[in-house]
Amino acid sequence: MHDFVVVGAGPAGSRFARRAAASGYGVLVFEQGEVGTPLACSGHVSTDIWEFTPTGAREKLLQNEVFGARFHLGGTDSRAYEFYKNEPVSNVIDRVGLDRVLADSAREAGADLREHHTVVGVTEHRDHVSVDVRGTDGLETHRAKMVAGCDGPKSRVRRELNLPEPDELLHGVLGFDETPDDQDFVDVHLTVPRFFAWRIPRGDAGVEYGLGMAADSADVRERFDALVDEYGADVHRRCSGLIPIGPPRRVTGRRSFLIGDAAAQTKPFTGGGIRYGMTAADHAAREIDPDSPGTLGDYERAWRADLRIDIRLGKLVRAGYSAPVLLQRAGMAVFEGEIGVHMDRPTSLFSREQLRALLSR
């Protein structure tokens, strides 16, 4: 019997698998298709990403460095409010490559990672879990002491075990123009109901365009097409996916736990969850003992203590996206210019660095 079965080999799943395997646990990982595909997530990340990757990953994955953002309250010809640092605020990376690097790292640590294996059933028992998987050789059943659901916004593990759902699901659309662009700024448009749209330069890899809206919105693709047309972009490749917002009240069962998008461990103001998910994965690897189900509560307390305040403040930041335009303009004018904030941590709005940036104007 395995110590852990991990469902999903995205950043959160591979990070947990690597840490657990390195600690001597027996870890079996299932990925529905090929690691990294299909792409359904932006490659715009904080510079902290390299703390979670093996040596040499930055040189392999980095596409562009970003020093700031232009916020638009209208179209591309509207007044843009610029926020910037004199050092990189964020990085643009090969998103598919990130998944593969992290999966390889998990394998090197001793995890048994199997691609093209789809989990179709999960059952908790008194002393183990059973996981039914449809693999390359047909239907298989595997037993483990615990199961980690790292299988995204529509988590099969979450549904099978009747764990609570995220507060909200958004529909995200991405499109890519292959024209090289190494600008220092991303563009953010607060013109989309309840969320936003973006343009991200990816160096020689081209440009990423994206938009997120409520999952039940009927005009997501029409609004995305309008964004692309406004920039005059030549978008050949598109993809879409769900963005979970708002962690549920509980992400653990009797012998199960969720990490990453499955647990809605994401930033409410951008929908990004790579860093939050891998942070939670580290807490899970430190706190959970597969022989002691009571340690699942330790995981719940640890990740929430670490991320709770940033998630709550992130909800307030997002509320500003729907504020009256006059209020938005006033707020942008106050903070425009050099900043001292961290893109993943709304708590940094109250940091010494941000205060110094404000006082230096």
Average the pLDDT over 82-110 and give the result: 96
Instruction: Give the Cα separation of 144 and 124 in Å (integer).
Output: 10
Q: Residue 230, class by beta-carbon neighbours within 10 Å (0-12 exposed, 13-18 middle, 19+ buried)?
A: middle
For residue 21, the one-letter residue type is A
Count of C-beta atoms within a 10 Å radius of residue 291 = 9
Tokens coding 152:
């995204």
Those residues whose C-beta lies under 8 Å from the C-beta of residue 359, and which sit 6 or more positions away, are none
Those residues whose C-beta lies under 8 Å from the C-beta of residue 191, and which sit 6 or more positions away, are 72, 73, 74, 75, 197
Q: What pLDDT shows up at residue 353?
A: 84
Q: What pLDDT shows up at residue 38?
A: 83
pLDDT at 357 over 80: no
pLDDT in tens, 292-311: 999 999 999 999 999 999 99
What pLDDT band is residue 352 in, cutting at 50, 70 and 90?
A: confident
Instruction: Give the Cα separation of 242 and 142 in Å (integer).
Output: 29
User: Which pairing describes strands 197-201 and 185-189: parallel, antiparallel, or unpaired?
Assistant: antiparallel
Instruction: Give the Cα separation of 288 and 285 in Å (integer).
Output: 6
Percent of the chain with pLDDT over 90: 83
What pLDDT band is residue 236 in, cutting at 50, 70 and 90?
A: confident
What pLDDT band is residue 356 in, cutting at 50, 70 and 90?
A: confident
**Domains identified in the chain and CATH numbers:** 2-320 (3.50.50.60)
Instruction: Give the Cα separation of 64 and 315 in Å (integer).
Output: 28
Q: Tell me which H or E stretch contains 84.
A: strand 80-84
What pLDDT band is residue 184 in, cutting at 50, 70 and 90?
A: very high
Q: What pLDDT shows up at residue 39?
A: 81
How are the residues of the chain apportioned to helix, strand and coil, as percentages rounded to the nearest 5? 35, 30, 35
- Tokens 């990403």, located at residue: 49
Tokens coding 26:
């027996």
DSSP string, 153-182: TT-HHHHHTTPPPPSEEEEEEEEEE-S-B-
Q: What pLDDT shows up at residue 78?
A: 83
pLDDT in tens, 17-64: 999 999 999 999 999 999 998 887 899 999 999 999 999 999 999 999
Instruction: Give the Cα separation of 18 and 285 in Å (integer).
Output: 9
Instruction: Give the Cα separation of 213 and 219 in Å (integer).
Output: 9
Q: What pLDDT shows up at residue 202?
A: 97
Beta bridge partner(s), residue 200: 208
Count of C-beta atoms within a 10 Å radius of residue 312 = 12
Q: Helices 274-287 and 11-22 sit at what angle, rounded to 10 degrees?
A: 30
CA angle 159, 290, 252 (to 5 degrees): 30
pLDDT at 259 over 90: yes
pLDDT in tens, 260-298: 999 999 999 999 999 999 999 999 999 999 999 999 999
Tokens coding 261:
């998008």
Q: What is the mean pLDDT of the chain?
A: 94
| Helix/strand/coil for 127 | coil
Percent of the chain with pLDDT over 70: 100
Instruction: Give the Cα separation of 44 and 46 in Å (integer).
Output: 7
Q: What residue spans of the chain are helical by DSSP H? A: 11-22, 57-61, 95-109, 156-160, 220-231, 274-287, 295-319, 325-335, 352-359
Average the pLDDT over 92-97 and give the result: 96
